[in-house]
Amino acid sequence: MGHGGLLTSLTISVILSPLMRKLVNSIKDILLAFLNFIYPKQCQGCGIKLHYKNKYYLCEECLGEVKVNNPPFCLKCGHPLSGPADLKVVCGKCSGIKYNFDKAFYCCNYEGLIKELVHKFKYNHKKFLIYLFNELMTNFIKRHISTKSMDMVVPIPLHRGKLQQRGFDQALLLSKNLSKTFNLQMSYNILNRKKDTKQQANLNKAQRLKNIKGAFSIKDKAVFNKKSVLLIDDIFTTAATANECAHLLKEAGAKSVSLLALAKSS
């Protein structure tokens, strides 16, 4: 083939490539629309039918019910406070308390619609809600947390018994997206949960500390040496779990440990 024929072939391939992509996307849209006609997407808040391209599975009205926390935040636990956005104080609950983690944040309060959605996600196998949760956490970080000084994200792990029962690790799913979005290393299976603990929300303070004590271990301490770690969890129930994990990470040489959760229960 001469140079003219080669150039013609290359030109055709360059033209066809975008055309093929458009064709594939069009076919995909047609198939999705057809599937949505047979099995329509429903709003996970109110149940109304949604457009097939709605990836959050919420109508506009229900999406408006998801309230994201705004500053000022408590310098320790991340609880939203009243006052100017640049207010830098510690809330009453954290006053006089020393945590092993340096700072904590959470996107929403664990109540109302967000509580219902998290429950559907974890216990009713509505894994598609991960797109909504990823969006909430990504936007929260972009607005309120600087990732420039952070080295890695670490999901607070599930015990293998709960993982087998549920079929997925929600903190891991959230961490994967944040790792990719903010170009941060992700460490998984180095921080391990070796004890299947009871739910912290049902215990008093003394029981929570006893329940979580010795629940975690670290396989390779060198992974965290001199690293700034962002712990990721879905629900921040009490500070006990994050505190225990941060204690181990600091012992392993971590420079700093922060926590980000999707929501916090009161």
Residues 11-70 have pLDDT tens digits of: 545 555 777 777 666 666 666 655 655 668 999 999 999 988 899 999 999 999 999 999
H or E element that contains 257: strand 256-264
- Ordered by where they begin, the domains of the chain are 99-264 (3.40.50.2020)
Please give the pLDDT value at position 7.
45
Rounded CA separation 233/265 (Å): 12
Look at residue 165 and tell me whether its pLDDT is greater than 90. no
How far is it, in rounded angstroms, from Cα 3 to Cα 141?
Answer: 52
190-205 pLDDT tens trace: 999 988 776 666 666 6
Query: Rounded CA gap, 247 and 224, in Å?
Result: 12
Helix (H, G, I), strand (E, B) or coil at 137: helix
* Helices 205-212 and 239-251, packing angle to 10 deg: 40
Q: Mean pLDDT score of the chain, rounded to an integer?
A: 87
Dist CA 105 CA 127 (whole Å) = 23
**pTM higher than 0.85:** no
Rounded Cα–Cα distance for residues 85 and 73 (Å):
8
pLDDT score of 2: 44
